[in-house]
Structure 1
Amino acid sequence: MHIMFVCTGNICRSPMGELLLTRYLRGTSIRVSSAGTKGLAMHAIDPSARRIMDSIGIDSSGFRSRRLTRSMVQAADLVLCFEQEQRKSIVTLVPTAVRYTFLLGDFANMCEYCAQRGLIKGTTIQERLQSVVAQSSMVRPMLPDSQDIEDPHKQEFEKYHAAADATNAGIRRILTSMRKHYQVEHAPERRLMGSGRSTLLS
């Protein structure tokens, strides 16, 4: 299974999503990547996003951005984005991707809904995630819209912190919903640099 995060520039939100989910899914065969609808190729992760990743022990030095292409979308099994406009851009590029492209918050809501009602099927995390994707056209209309995760680019560090926390919260809600056959990895609790409050990245 291939999960791809998509934001605008592929230097702030989607790299953090890729790196966080890769950490959580370590030891599985799921591939995680990211790209940007207006991304410029081969840019390093934003320094503030790198600072957050460094603070929780994730090395982002090798990350380089990519601009989203049709073939990237077609190669993914699940695309998670951060704003409604990004989803529109993805579906415009590849209309059939409407079946497997969601806002991160919307997909987290669907996973929780399906888990609470015993609708998730499969024995591996890949099968269980794909079962939610398969039911999305039925489940999505029953749930409220989620909010966009704001782009923190060129804003104060607290905006990056908020985007990282919201991204991590969405990822953990998804993985918690898969827990019948999968246990989310737990790491020692840490604090994000530049903030006095406890991080969700634990």
Structure 2
Amino acid sequence: MKKVLMVCLGNICRSPLAEAILQSKVDSKEVLVDSAGTAAYHIGNLPDKRSIEVAEKYGLNINNQRARKFVEADFDEFDFIYAMDKSNYNNILLLAKNADDKQKVKLILNEISQDNHSVPDPYYGGDQGFENVYNMLDKACTVIANKL
């Protein structure tokens, strides 16, 4: 089984959406998808209500997800680690024990463009920000699912 981890800052906006989107595109018997945050602000909390709403709009349920913090052991558990932005990418790399760990980490939008673009954090924006993030992640997750 392949294991994929989606990582953002608080694990309540972008990474829960990425987790659900990718999970909807793969066979759950072959691919496990999870998400985490590099910060501990929201451990145990549900995703942001705006993430829940945009997920539901597209037929995805993220109400069972709970925020957790990215930990060093995630390098051993997961085959692929996708960061939502450069800041989280760098924070993940700080916990890497070796070159193998570092090779697992990628910026998620580099799956659709090699420009090192970040998925913008929609937390302080309006509802349209969540819609935009969903669409970006949907495109990237389609590419990832095809590779898996």
Q: With the length of structure 1 as denominator, give the TM-score of the two structures.
A: 0.67
Alignment of 1:92-107 (within 5 A): 92-96=94-98, 97-107=101-111
Work out whether residues 26 and 145 of structure 2, in 8 Å CA contact, stay in contact via their aligned partners in 1.
Answer: no
Residue 8 of structure 2 corresponds to 7
- Verify: 1:161 aligned to 2:131, yes or no: yes
Question: Which structure 2 segments of 5+ residues have no match?
Answer: none
Structure 1, residues 3-52: CA drift from partner, whole Å, max 9, x if none? 00000000000000001111111344211000000043111010001001
Shift of 1:108: 4.1
Residue 199 of structure 1 corresponds to none
Kindly name which structure, 1 or 2, has the bigger radius of gyration based on alpha carbons: 1
Residue 22 of structure 2 corresponds to 21
Shift of 1:59: 1.5
4+ residue stretches of structure 1 with deviation over 3 A? none
Work out whether residues 37 and 67 of structure 1, in 8 Å CA contact, stay in contact via their aligned partners in 2.
Answer: yes
Aligned residues: 144
In 2: Cα distance, 1:74 partner to 1:89 partner: 17
Alignment of 1:121-160 (within 5 A): 144-160=114-130
- Asked which structure has the greater RCO (Cα within 8 Å, sep 6+), the reply is 2
Alignment of 1:1-202 (within 5 A): 1-39=2-40, 40-96=42-98, 97-109=101-113, 144-176=114-146, 178=147
Moved more, 22-31 or 72-81: 22-31
Among all aligned residue pairs of Structure 1 and Structure 2, give the percentage whose two residues are the same amino acid: 19
In 2: Cα distance, 1:95 partner to 1:108 partner: 28
Q: With the length of structure 2 as denominator, give the TM-score of the two structures.
A: 0.89
In 1: Cα distance, 2:91 partner to 2:111 partner: 18
Letter of the 2:121 partner, please give it: D
Question: Which structure 1 segments of 5+ residues have no match?
Answer: 110-143, 183-202
